[in-house]
Amino acid sequence: MNDAATTTTRQRPEHASARETAALLPAGFELGVAMASYQIEGAVHEGGRGRSIWDTFSHTPGAVARGETGDVACDHYHRYREDVALMAELGVDAYRLSVAWPRLQPDGTGPVNRAGADFYSRLVDELLGAGITPVVTLYHWDLPQALEDAGGWPVRDTALRFADYAVTVQELLGDRVHRWITLNEPYCSAVLGYGTGRHAPGVRDAGRSLAAAHHLLLGHGLAVEAMRGRDRDGDYGITLNLEPVSALTDREEDRAAARRSLTLSNLLFTEPVLAGTYPEDARRLWSAVTDFSFVRDGDLETTSAELDFLGVNYYFPARVRAVPHREPDPALRAVDDLGVATPLLADDEVTEMGWPVEADGLRRLMVWLRETYPALPPVLVTENGRACADVVVDGAVDDPERIGYIDGHLRALAQAAEAGVEVRGYFTWTLLDNFEWAEGYARRFGLVHVDFETQARLPKASFSWYRELVAARAGSA
Task: With beta carbons less than 8 A apart as the criterion, state whether 61 and 122 touch.
Answer: no
Please tell me which residue in 185, 358, 401, 436 is annotated as part of the active site: 185
Task: With beta carbons less than 8 A apart as the criterion, state whether 188 and 241 touch.
Answer: yes
- 383 catalytically annotated: yes
- Whether residue 430 has a cis bond before it, omega within 30° of 0: yes
CB under 6 A: which stretch of 104-112, 180-188, 298-306, 406-414 binds ligand GCO? 180-188
> How does strand 318-322 pair with strand 340-341?
antiparallel
Which of 105, 184, 270, 351 forms a contact with ligand GCO (CB under 6 A)? 184
- 436 catalytically annotated: no
Is 299 among the residues that bind ligand GCO (CB under 6 A)?
no
**Distance between CA atoms of residues 209 and 196, nearest Å:** 9
Task: Please report, as a single letter, which amino acid is at residue 255.
Answer: R
Count of other CB atoms within 10 angstroms of residue 162: 27
Give me the least distance between CB of 443 and ligand GCO, in Å please: 7
Give me the least distance between CB of 70 and ligand GCO, in Å please: 11
CB under 6 A: which stretch of 122-130, 184-192, 246-254, 356-364 binds ligand GCO? 184-192
> How does strand 379-383 pair with strand 423-429?
parallel
Give me the least distance between CB of 241 and ligand GCO, in Å please: 6
Is 313 among the residues that bind ligand GCO (CB under 6 A)?
yes
Beta-carbon contacts of 469 under 8 Å, excluding residues fewer than 6 positions away, are 18, 19, 21, 22, 31, 410
- Whether residue 201 has a cis bond before it, omega within 30° of 0: yes
Give the contact letters, 30-69, x = binds to ligand GCO (CB under 6 A), - = no. ------x--x------------------------------
- Name the residue number minimizing CB distance to ligand GCO: 185
CA angle (355 as vertex; 354, 361 as ends), nearest 5:
170
Residue 24 belongs to what H/E stretch? helix 16-24
Give me the least distance between CB of 239 and ligand GCO, in Å please: 7
Give me the least distance between CB of 201 and ligand GCO, in Å please: 17
- Edge-to-edge strands, sheet with 245-247: 245-247, 318-322, 340-341
Please tell me which residue in 383, 401, 436, 468 is annotated as part of the active site: 383
Measured from the CB atom, the residue of 52 and 184 that comes closer to ligand GCO is 184
Is 243 among the residues that bind ligand GCO (CB under 6 A)?
no
Which of 41, 83, 271, 436 forms a contact with ligand GCO (CB under 6 A)? 436
Measured from the CB atom, the residue of 17 and 384 that comes closer to ligand GCO is 384
DSSP letter string, 270-302: HIIIIISS--TTHHHHTTTT---TT--TTHHHH
Which of 148, 336, 383, 433 forms a contact with ligand GCO (CB under 6 A)? 383
Task: Please report, as a single letter, which amino acid is at residue 148.
Answer: E
Give me the least distance between CB of 264 and ligand GCO, in Å please: 16
Measured from the CB atom, the residue of 126 and 436 that comes closer to ligand GCO is 436
- For ligand GCO, the binding residues (CB under 6 A) are 36, 39, 184-185, 188, 313, 383, 429, 436, 445
Which residues are known catalytic residues?
185, 383
